[in-house]
Amino acid sequence: MVLADPPYGMAFRSNYRTVRHKPIEGDDGDMGWVERFASAAYSTAKENTAHYVFCSFHGIDTFKRELGKFFNVKNVLVWEKNNTSMGDLRGDFAPKVEFVLFLHRGRRLINGTRDPNIFKFRKTGNRLHPTQKPVDMCSYLIEKFSDAGNTVLDPFLGSGTTAIAAERSGRRWIGIEKEQKYCDITIKRLEEESTLWQKKRKQPKSSK
């Protein structure tokens, strides 16, 4: 599975309600790299697998067109967040959603029930990364269309959310991240996750 949260091509700037992050490299509106990403993702994926690519309305047409050259674009999933984002406060509706392109290479059957393509998860506050996603949401997506022991690839790993979600879901993972700062954050989060898991293992089971 490829689970990617690439730059949206919208020149995103984090706001002052949370940690002020520097601009995201590659998010300047130049979307020429998307076709190369789509081709590389497709060549990496095995047959009969499902994949996710996060995006916003700013570049969804480009992502959909370029990914559709290789994958079968099955659906556009909608993540409804628990609060609205900034923008034109007096001349626009308040944005409250992000989108996830759901892709197949071949055909992959769902695990469990068939859920709606709109789901709700709380925002993270972007404390560790300007576009940090919720771990529980990524775990949910991973578990719906992969099996325990499968490998999840995140080529835009950021602060390591996909790695944490894969670990909790019993999947292997591969993460690619170019900024050392976020590699260090990911390592720290994984160490904390391992420590928490060890503590849970040592807790005595309550007797009935």
65-97 tens-digit pLDDT: 999 999 999 999 999 987 766 667 788 888 889
pLDDT at position 46, please?
96
User: CA-based diameter of the chain, in Å?
Assistant: 61
User: Beta strands 49-55 and 97-105: pairing type?
Assistant: antiparallel
- pLDDT tens-digit profile of 169-179? 999 999 999 99
The rounded distance, in Å, linking the Cα atoms of 156 and 163 is: 11
State yes or no: pLDDT of 129 exceeds 80. Answer: no
Q: Report the domain count for the chain.
A: 1
Cβ atoms of 118 and 78 within 8 Å: the answer is yes
CATH number at residue 125: 3.40.50.150
Q: What is the DSSP letter of 70?
A: T
Percent of the chain at pLDDT > 90 equals 62
CA angle at residue 204 from 199 to 205, to 5 degrees? 120
pLDDT by residue (tens digit) across 110-124? 999 999 999 999 876
* Enclosing domain of residue 78: 3-202
